[in-house]
Structure 1
Amino acid sequence: MTKTEFKPEQHKKYFRRSLELLPTESAVFDCSRLTILYFVLVGLDILDGLDLLTDEYKKDIIEWVYRLQLVPSETVPIYKCGFMGSTTVIHLQSHSGCEKYCESNVAMTYMALCVLITLGDDLSRVNKSAVLQGVASLQKADGSFKSNYEYGESDLRFVYCSLAVCIILNDLSGINVDKAVQFISNCFNYDGAFGQNPGTESHGGSTYCAIASLSLLNKLNDVLDNSKLKILERWAINRQTNGFQGRPNKEPDTCYSFWIGATLSIMGSLDKINKEENKDFVLNNANLLTGGFSKDMDSIPDPMHTCLSLCGLSLIGMKNLNPINPALNITVRATNHLKEIQN
């Protein structure tokens, strides 16, 4: 047995166990449990492991996700509609009597829709009008989107989530697409990549959000001409040491095998990396005993890095992994289901 052996069954068990039990340090994510659920289910789908969950269990998960949906009411204005990150927020509200706790978050709304699609739901119980109006209310004058209406920060992460929600729900009519595209363009830097906001340092995560957003809108070549695409390609390829780093002079991290890998995949440039070195780096950060992947050798596995490690391995054609849609970050199988329910 070598350290780089791929043990998919161990990773399936890791994900399955993560649905029931997490380490104490995960308590800080209690108000965003939906994030963990998203990474677990997408990861299981890549491993072709959703059959580990019974139909009844899947139904329970779907019902839990729908409990997170905020719809218009006397106490919930339209601009707060969408999905929250956890039922913990509901409990806080019910015990305090304070409505301010109940507010959607566009990243949670994106992940909720991805979870439902991955589990085969038809989205018929999603209040699409309210969700879309909630997203529209988050767009700022500069074209960017806030994470949530009250005090939400705004940057390319939430531009991507907002656009992905509209694409999934098949309706871009409520937002100003031209302004969103202009904001993305304004985040482009001299080095060829994108910062989270105009004038900020280029980063692998924000660059993915920019390229994936433009791809979803079919606007990539409208914003980046051949010269800019070549500079971006060079920047992204140069993020590989053995694995990929998020910024120059940083240590590699398994999650960037997806963020950078998906960026290059969307651009049609993934074959220009050293796939074997990337594969070895990712596999060397797997825990062969418990399953799961960590960000580096000094860390413990977590659902996010496990999922994104598998996404990165899937992108480079690793055997026995389902292919993913690099722009939506769900499997091709789930994407095909989405297309069926959109028709």
Structure 2
Amino acid sequence: MHQVEFKPEQHKKYFRRSLDILPSESAMFDCSRLTILYFVLIGLDVLDGLDLLTEEHKRSIIEWVYGLQLVPSENVLDHKCGFMGSTTVIHLKNYPSCEKYCESNVAMTYMALCILITLGDDLSRLNKTAILQGVAALQKPDGSFKSNYEYGESDLRFVYCSLAVCFILNDSSLINVNNTIHFISKCLNYDGAFGQNPGTESHGGSTYCAIASLSLLNKLNDVINSKKLKILERWAVNRQINGFQGRPNKDPDTCYSFWIGATLRIIGSLDKINKEKNKDFVLNNANFLTGGFSKDMDSIPDPMHTCLSLCGLSLVEMEGLSPINPALNITERATNHLKQIQH
């Protein structure tokens, strides 16, 4: 496999088109359009391409995102506050008979906050108290978090999203941090990596969620001592074939250049991988007709794999890409903006 030319302008155009039109197979994501918007805007920011959007367009996106915020009302209880994923379902808050379907999702709340920060919003229109109460209501006695209040599944993905929301809002006083750290530690396996729940197979995505969560809490050393760190490092480095696989005996996938790469960056071991092989793999999965990146050579591009491919390339210092914050998965530029509005 040889390294092909990196063409950032094509990927900017891919993201710009994705804000206006997507193929019909994307209709299944209508209820979580916020997810697509997140990957498009983070990806554009990594490409230093937000200037493709006019200030009016940015304001309209910000207004749309705030329109997804659920605040306490006659039909919305405190424990369901936060952000929903789409205007497809937000109107249900006006119909009492549909109240049970009208609730936030902590992953959508995390993505909404990242979008607002990336577009330079000051977060002054957030109902922070309601959001934090909504997050706290999702915590289970074992320290994990559900995705949403009614029937939500719980695992490390939603632990990460919950802690990221608390980090962004600079307040974790309503959650039991010690229980969460204990839950994360129970997800650690003998091979040094983490499963989504205790007793489940180690995976690159859940390992990232665990390590990023501990990093946001500044508690990494409380769970991962130097011996465990070496075992984790070996597991993560061994996921590289040319690109990275999510778990042993699986094909490599471009998104794990971020999930595994960010994990290794956080623990200070990214220098142990073959960066050139990883670049080759990711760049060879770019589509130079439409722009964008796919998971592998047998797939078509999508916003998620395009964004995470670029984030993975940023981690290995691909020329022309903005540096990212590996624990929040936003750019350092956006992180600096967050720091300014937190003080």
Distance in 2 of aligned mates of 1:94 and 1:304: 32
Structure 1 stretch 29-38 or stretch 83-92: which is displaced more? Answer: 83-92
The residue correspondences of 1:80-229 to structure 2 (distance < 5 A) are 80-91=80-91, 97-229=97-229
Distance in 2 of aligned mates of 1:342 and 1:93: 30
Q: Give me the CA root mean square deviation.
A: 1.1
Aligned to 2:15: 15
Q: In the alignment, does 2:291 pair up with 1:291?
A: yes
Aligned to 1:339: 339
Aligned to 1:319: 319
Percent of matched pairs sharing the same residue: 83
Shift of 1:4: 1.2
In the superposition, relative to structure 1, how do residues 96 and 217 fare at CA in structure 2: closer, same or farther (>3 Å)? closer
- Provide, for residues 250-290 of structure 1, a one-character-per-residue CA deviation record: whole Å limited to 9, x for no partner: 00000000000000000010010000000000000000111
Distance in 1 of aligned mates of 2:99 and 2:93: 6
Shift of 1:104: 0.1
In the superposition, relative to structure 1, how do residues 95 and 30 fare at CA in structure 2: closer, same or farther (>3 Å)? farther
- Provide, for residues 31-61 of structure 1, a one-character-per-residue CA deviation record: whole Å limited to 9, x for no partner: 0000000000000000000000000000000
Distance in 1 of aligned mates of 2:306 and 2:333: 20
Aligned to 2:278: 278
| 2:92–2:99 CA contact under 8 A, matched in 1 | no
| 2:3–2:279 CA contact under 8 A, matched in 1 | no
Shift of 1:91: 3.9
- Provide, for residues 40-93 of structure 1, a one-character-per-residue CA deviation record: whole Å limited to 9, x for no partner: 000000000000000000000000000000000111000000000000002456
Distance in 2 of aligned mates of 1:56 and 1:97: 37
Aligned to 2:232: 232
Distance in 1 of aligned mates of 2:214 and 2:234: 19
SS at 2:121 equivalent: coil
- Give the residue type in structure 1 aligned to 2:28: V
Q: Aligned pair count?
A: 342
Distance in 2 of aligned mates of 1:92 and 1:255: 34
- Give the residue type in structure 1 aligned to 2:201: E
In the superposition, relative to structure 1, how do residues 264 and 23 fare at CA in structure 2: closer, same or farther (>3 Å)? same
Q: Which runs of 5+ in 1 are unaligned?
A: none
Shift of 1:101: 2.0
Distance in 1 of aligned mates of 2:243 and 2:330: 22
- Provide, for residues 156-185 of structure 1, a one-character-per-residue CA deviation record: whole Å limited to 9, x for no partner: 000000000000000010000000000000
- Provide, for residues 284-325 of structure 1, a one-character-per-residue CA deviation record: whole Å limited to 9, x for no partner: 000011100000000000000000000000000001100000
- Give the residue type in structure 2 aligned to 1:312: G
- Give the residue type in structure 1 aligned to 2:121: D
SS at 2:292 equivalent: coil
Distance in 2 of aligned mates of 1:240 and 1:108: 30
Aligned to 1:252: 252
Shift of 1:94: 5.3
- Give the residue type in structure 1 aligned to 2:217: L
Distance in 1 of aligned mates of 2:286 and 2:18: 16
- Provide, for residues 91-133 of structure 1, a one-character-per-residue CA deviation record: whole Å limited to 9, x for no partner: 4565895122210000000000000000000000000000000
In the superposition, relative to structure 1, how do residues 334 and 72 fare at CA in structure 2: closer, same or farther (>3 Å)? same
In the superposition, relative to structure 1, how do residues 302 and 136 fare at CA in structure 2: closer, same or farther (>3 Å)? same
